Chain A
Amino acid sequence: MAVLVIADHDGAHVRDTTAKTVTAACAISGDVDVLVLGASLSGAAAGAAAIAGVRKVLTAESAALGQGLAEAVTDLVVSLAGGYDAILTPATSTGKNFIPRIAAKLDVSQISDIIEVVDAKTFVRPIYAGNALETVKSSDAKIVGTVRATAFKAAGEGGSAGIEAAAVPGSAGRHADFVSEEVVKSDRPELAGAKIVVSGGRALGSAEEFHKVIEPLADKLGAAVGASRAAVDAGYAPNDYQVGQTGKVVAPDLYVAIGISGAIQHLAGMKDSKIIVAVNKDADAPIFAVADYGLVADYKTAVPELMEELARIGK
């Protein structure tokens, strides 16, 4: 048995999600290879090779792979699939885009959002926005799935796997063409992997207020910025800030919810955080049912006080 993990990386580094997916893969088999694909893989391949437990790193470079086009990724992975009993990738927007295409090409029923590996064919995954967990056993010859990285500990470093280039098949079928990309550059940590997340909700009332209140607090804590779906829908924050069932699932050490009521859809995305802080002026808000520390207060007074208090303790 061997497992292929398709890495999540930014070219220079592999993201933490990759090391966490390697942990899930190691629960299936001791033979775990990592495929690093993209346009320029300078540091990422070396980073993948250093993950403990990795047998071999495969690299594949092309423009289409760098653009994350599902058609190109699928052609490549299907060409390598013969050597593997399982193919996994973190459940990022990129992974969710190509994994089902690979599964269908291999005539396999996909396992989405794995949170626990029971055995090589049996997995636990959330359904109904995390309100239920199902344990499923696959009868397919291969496992193809996405892994919810927050549910696994990152594999350590210290590996020294060999790096080999994989042959990239030419584009055979019809495919989408890349036009452009607008990636927001930020000095803040990435939402999905941040140790601290500060999120704002609908109570903020406007994009200006969100910017003025949430972002400075996040910067003071060295945190990533998140938002509830209500805040995103209202246009206060961009979509990729969204934490919840339909957005990102996060599990930081500290999650600070400002003016978020705590709809089921939001809780699904953050309830595995280690410590949850909620600031809301409605004492009955559902967010308080999951918060370790709840402060019933208007954010308008509480956040400035919080900034001062953090400054006082040297933050």
Chain B
Amino acid sequence: MKVLVPVKRVIDYNVKVRVKPDQTGVDLANVKMSMNPFDEIGTEEAVRLKEKGAATEVVVVSIGPAQAQETIRTALAMGADRGILIQTDQDLEPLAVAKLLAAVIAQETPGVVVMGKQAIDGDNNAVGQMLAALLDWPQATFASGIEISGDTAKVTREVDGGLQVLSVALPAVITADLRLNEPRYASLPNIMKAKKKPIDIKSTADYGVDVANRLTVLKVTEPPKRQGGVKVADVAELVSKLKNEAGVI
């Protein structure tokens, strides 16, 4: 069975985000970029499925600028087998991304798609569910556990108030939550090996789907800053302030 893993190149999660003064977006010039952390978890899970013998091939897809090849290489160094880059400088919306992925899947026919639940730039949390909808596949989002036996996946999901277990007939789309696994660090030999693995470069036009944006970003602003308050000397002062000044207890 083939596993398809979409990965996105995003601002590194440790970088302090700065809004551009002209309010057109976030400043990405000379900023460290990395693989979206949830996609790392997705990649790790796919590689583990291969190591366990549940999968035979792990194909990584990224949609983004030429530099997204580096993101694909990272996944290849973790153990994925080959990559597809749909190269575009357009900032695509989740619906367009899902349509492109659906077109890739029509060609690749994977048995399962494992991907991050959300990208930490747009924070939409939408592509996986949209992809499942477009393909008419079952979905299991926010996975913290995946067990595949035959053509069925048993997925444990993180839901409000606890956990839910679903059984999904494959093919299906599964999105990864934080606790699914801890992604490995790629070893130097594997990083070297990854350089020789193939990456197919495509363009959005190759897939003949409508990728026009539906949303116009009117402006991007900084959130209102919260002012820090005072330091209190001890617990007695704290409780007194909460009771008498803030009135919250």
Q: Which residues of A are in contact with B by a Cβ distance under 8 Å?
A: 67-71, 74, 92-94, 96-105, 107-113, 122, 126-140, 173-184, 190, 192, 196, 221, 229, 232-233, 238-240, 245-246, 248, 253-254, 264-265, 271, 274-277, 283, 288-297, 302, 305-306, 309-310, 313, 315
**Once the chains bind, are B238 and A104 in contact (CB under 8 Å)?**
no
Contact of A133 among B94, B161, B221 (CB under 8 A): B221
**Once the chains bind, are B126 and A291 in contact (CB under 8 Å)?**
no
Is the CB of B125 closer than 8 A to any CB of chain A?
A: yes
**Once the chains bind, are B95 and A108 in contact (CB under 8 Å)?**
yes
**Once the chains bind, are B239 and A313 in contact (CB under 8 Å)?**
yes
A/B pair count, beta carbons within 8 Å:
261
Interface centre among B125, B141, B221, B234 (most CB of A within 10 A): B125
- Chain A min CB distance to B58 (Å): 23
**Once the chains bind, are A137 and B126 in contact (CB under 8 Å)?**
no
- Say yes or no: A107-B95 contact (C-beta < 8 A), given A127-B122, A176-B166, A179-B167: yes
Q: Which residues of B are in contact with A by a Cβ distance under 8 Å?
A: 11, 13, 16-17, 19, 26, 93-95, 98, 118, 120-134, 136-142, 144, 154-155, 158-169, 172, 177-179, 213-223, 226, 228-232, 234-236, 238-239, 241-243, 246, 248-249
**Once the chains bind, are A180 and B165 in contact (CB under 8 Å)?**
yes
In the complex, what residues of A have CB within 8 A of residue B16's CB? 131, 264
**Bound: A177/B161 CA distance, A:** 20
**Once the chains bind, are A94 and B160 in contact (CB under 8 Å)?**
yes
**Once the chains bind, are B215 and A138 in contact (CB under 8 Å)?**
yes
Which residue on chain A has the smallest CB distance to residue B118? A246
**Bound: A149/B124 CA distance, A:** 16
| Chief secondary structure at chain B's binding surface | mixed
Contact of B214 among A71, A93, A104, A108 (CB under 8 A): A108
**Once the chains bind, are B133 and A174 in contact (CB under 8 Å)?**
no
Which residue on chain A has the smallest CB distance to residue B215? A136
**Once the chains bind, are B163 and A182 in contact (CB under 8 Å)?**
yes
In the complex, what residues of B have CB within 8 A of residue A306's CB? 235, 238-239
- Say yes or no: A101-B139 contact (C-beta < 8 A), given A135-B217, A136-B215, A179-B166: yes
**Bound: A291/B125 CA distance, A:** 29
- Chain B min CB distance to A116 (Å): 11
**Once the chains bind, are A128 and B159 in contact (CB under 8 Å)?**
no
**Once the chains bind, are A275 and B248 in contact (CB under 8 Å)?**
yes
**Once the chains bind, are B229 and A131 in contact (CB under 8 Å)?**
no
**Once the chains bind, are B239 and A294 in contact (CB under 8 Å)?**
no
Which residue on chain A has the smallest CB distance to residue B23? A135
**Bound: A87/B120 CA distance, A:** 25
**Once the chains bind, are A221 and B162 in contact (CB under 8 Å)?**
no
In the complex, what residues of B have CB within 8 A of residue A70's CB? 129, 132, 139, 141
**Once the chains bind, are A137 and B242 in contact (CB under 8 Å)?**
no
- Say yes or no: A309-B144 contact (C-beta < 8 A), given A109-B95, A179-B154: no
Those 7 A-B pairs whose CB atoms lie nearest each other, nearest first:
A292-B229, A100-B129, A104-B130, A104-B133, A109-B214, A100-B126, A131-B17
Which residue on chain A has the smallest CB distance to residue B38? A246
Contact of B236 among A103, A183, A239, A309 (CB under 8 A): A309
Contact of B226 among A127, A238, A271 (CB under 8 A): A271
**Once the chains bind, are B162 and A184 in contact (CB under 8 Å)?**
yes
**Bound: A248/B161 CA distance, A:** 11
Interface centre among A105, A139, A176 (most CB of B within 10 A): A176
- Chain B min CB distance to A227 (Å): 13
In the complex, what residues of A have CB within 8 A of residue B243's CB? 313
Q: A100-B125, A176-B155 are in contact. List 18 more A-B contacts (CB 8 A).
A: A70-B139, A94-B159, A104-B134, A110-B95, A122-B218, A131-B222, A132-B222, A133-B221, A137-B216, A178-B166, A183-B162, A239-B179, A240-B162, A275-B242, A275-B246, A293-B230, A294-B231, A295-B232
